[in-house]
Each structure stands twice: as C-alpha cells, then as structure tokens.
C-alpha cells in the first residue's frame, strides 16, 4: 500500500451506533488531519495531529473523537451521530505542521447517518 488509505470507504450507521473510521499513511509523515466535506460545502478542517499530539480541534462536537496512536495511524471514533453528520470524511497527512506543507489526502469515507 502506498500513500494514504482509509477504511471503510462507505459506512451507514444509525444514530445510536458507535463506529470508527481508520486512516493509515505510508509516507513517513509526522502530521495527520481529519476533514469533513458536506454536500455543497467546502472541506472543513476538523482535527490536526502532529507527532501524535493533537494541535488543533476546530470546534468539533464531542460526538467525534479522534485518536492518533502513532504517526502512521489516525482514527475517528463516532458515537450518537446526527443525520446532518452525513458527509465525506477525508484524512490527510503532511511531513510536518510548522510551515505550509503539501497535504496528501486519502480517498475518504462516505458516511450516511440514518
């Protein structure tokens, strides 16, 4: 596997379910990101991790809980979501976070909350 991978690619869940999205990067990067893209809206940055420490939490509701166990893996734990949380969730990685560095994106997980 190369680049940034995300699993699952598609997910349907009920509002009472608990699920997790997984992201893995094979680029040796030190920073990872979660973005959300809702229909007809721009990509919105949710979380930033640098060297496994969270450096940004962009006013995201607590029903989204990120986890970064090491620099290659990033999870987004989901619980008691709402239908308006249905969106494409994109993971990205970059070499660092100190300057503007190219972010490499995964293919995304398309989430539907019923």
Partner 1 sequence: DQQVKQNSPSLSVQEGRISILNCDYTNSMFDYFLWYKKYPAEGPTFLISISSIKDKNEDGRFTVFLNKSAKHLSLHIVPSQPGDSAVYFCAASAGNAGNMLTFGGGTRLMVKP
Q: Which residues bind partner 1 (CB under 8 A)?
A: 4, 31, 33, 40-45, 48, 56, 90, 92, 94, 96-108
Nearer to partner 1, 79 or 88 (CB): 88
Smallest distance, Å, CB 94 to partner 1? 6
CA–CA distance, 23 with 33 (Å, rounded to integer): 10
Smallest distance, Å, CB 47 to partner 1? 11
Smallest distance, Å, CB 53 to partner 1? 14
Name the burial class of residue 79, with classes exposed (0-12), middle (13-18) and buried (19+) by CB atoms within 10 angstroms of its CB.
middle
Q: Please say whether the beta carbons of 77 and 20 come within 8 A.
A: yes
Nearest residue to 20 via CA among 99, 81, 79? 79
Nearer to partner 1, 28 or 99 (CB): 99
């Amino acid at each position: 596997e190369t680049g940034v991978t995300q699993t699952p690619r598609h997910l349907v869940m009920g509002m009472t379910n608990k699920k997790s999205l997984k992201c893995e990067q094979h680029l040796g990067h030190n920073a990872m990101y979660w973005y959300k893209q809702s229909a007809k809206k721009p990509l919105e940055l949710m979380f930033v991790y640098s060297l496994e420490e969270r450096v940004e939490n962009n006013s995201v509701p607590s029903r989204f809980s990120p986890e970064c166990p090491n620099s290659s893996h990033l999870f987004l734990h989901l619980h008691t979501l709402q239908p308006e949380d249905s969106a494409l969730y994109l993971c990205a990685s970059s070499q660092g976070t100190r300057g503007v560095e190219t972010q490499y994106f995964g293919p995304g997980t398309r989430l539907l909350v019923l």
